[in-house]
């Protein structure tokens, strides 16, 4: 398959605007929250508050499963990252495939980006820097192996 030709056909048909996010009218008001699944809610809260620097906004029962807890964390920009645990389902991991998420990219200033790298190093968390110490992207994984990125947007 000629993947370059496939991409060129998509560009021709859909004509990306290359406008900055939020500059063109769209059919929604943006992201309210992303909802992911974790194996251990306390471990997830600790990682995202202490390593990533988010704050907890809400902790509630999951409406669909009484044993499950639903948390919301402020990830900046008026957006929330939510997690569910499903204690009765066990720790089985999902496999990457259609419908799954590849990674979560979070915006950061140069200072936030540098602080993230320092915190990852301090805690001995494996990470991969694309760029330099003040500009670029840093990739790392949470306790459930979810791939995260903090980027300055180059």
pLDDT in tens, 98-136: 788 899 999 999 999 999 999 999 999 999 999 998 999
Number of structural domains found in the chain: 2
CATH number of the domain enclosing 152: 3.10.180.10
For residue 117, give its domain range. Answer: 102-154
Residue 112 shares a structural domain with residue 148:
yes
User: Does residue 76 sit within a domain?
Assistant: yes
pTM of the entire structure? 0.84
Closest to 55 (Cα-Cα) out of 24, 25, 79? 79
Answer whether 93's CB lies under 8 Å from 54's CB: no
pLDDT in tens, 63-86: 988 899 999 999 998 899 999 998
Measured CA to CA, the distance from residue 56 to residue 67 in angstroms comes to 20
Residue 37 shares a structural domain with residue 81:
yes
As a whole number of Å, the end-to-end CA separation of the chain is 31
Measured CA to CA, the distance from residue 110 to residue 138 in angstroms comes to 12
Measured CA to CA, the distance from residue 96 to residue 82 in angstroms comes to 20
């Amino acid at each position: 398959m000629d993947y370059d030709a496939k991409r060129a056909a998509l560009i021709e048909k859909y004509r990306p605007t290359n406008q900055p996010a939020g500059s063109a009218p769209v059919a929604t008001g943006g992201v309210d929250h992303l909802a992911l699944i974790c194996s251990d809610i306390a471990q997830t809260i600790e990682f995202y508050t202490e390593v990533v620097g988010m704050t907890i906004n809400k902790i509630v029962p999951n409406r669909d499963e009484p044993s499950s807890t639903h948390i919301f964390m402020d990830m900046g920009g008026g957006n929330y990252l939510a997690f569910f645990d499903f204690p009765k389902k066990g720790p089985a991991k999902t496999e990457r495939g259609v419908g799954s998420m590849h990674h979560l990219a979070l915006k950061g200033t140069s200072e936030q980006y540098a602080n993230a790298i320092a915190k990852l190093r301090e805690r001995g968390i494996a990470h991969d820097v694309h760029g330099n110490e003040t500009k670029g992207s840093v990739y790392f994984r949470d306790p459930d192996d979810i791939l995260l990125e903090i980027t300055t947007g180059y």
